[in-house]
Amino acid sequence: MDEQLHLPGSCRLLRLPVRGDERGKLIPIEAADAGFDIERVYYIYGTPADAERGFHAHKELRQIAIAVSGTCSIELDDGREKASVTIDHPSVGLTIEPMVWHVMRDFSEDCVLLLIASAAYDEADYIRDYERFLAVAAEA
C-alpha cells in the first residue's frame, strides 16, 4: 500500500487490521475503523472485465471500498484533482468521501468489491450528471 499516494477529496487508503493464525485470516471492521457509523453493506461481483460502474458522486454518503477478492481500479475526482487507485488486497480499504466522483473499472474475473456505507440507499444523495457535479463542486 502506497502510504504517500495523494488522493482527491480527502479520500485515503486504510490499512485494515488482520487477525489470524495457521487456520486463516480475519479482518474485523468496526465503526471506529470506518470513521463513521455503518448503515449499509453491499458488494459487487460477477462484473465483466470491460465493465465500468459508478459514474456518480454522493452529496453526503461516505464509503469504504474493499476488494475482498481479486482487483479493480477506482478513479476518483473531486472536481479539481483526479487519481486512479487499484485496490487488490482484502486488508486495504479505500475511503470514498462525499463530493468525489468515482468510476470503478478493470475488474478481475474473481473480483468481489465490498462497499461499506454511512447511510442507507437514498437516490436524492446521488449526483449522476458529471457537468452538474463539476458545477456543485466548484461552489463548495
Instruction: Report the catalytic residues.
Output: 56
Name all contacts of 129-135 with Cβ < 8 Å and 24+ positions apart: 130/55, 130/101, 133/56, 133/57, 133/79, 133/99, 133/101, 134/79
Dihedral sign for Cα atoms in the order 37, 40, 45, 50: negative
Please state, in angstroms and rounded to a whole number, the distance separating the CA atoms of residues 69 and 26: 14
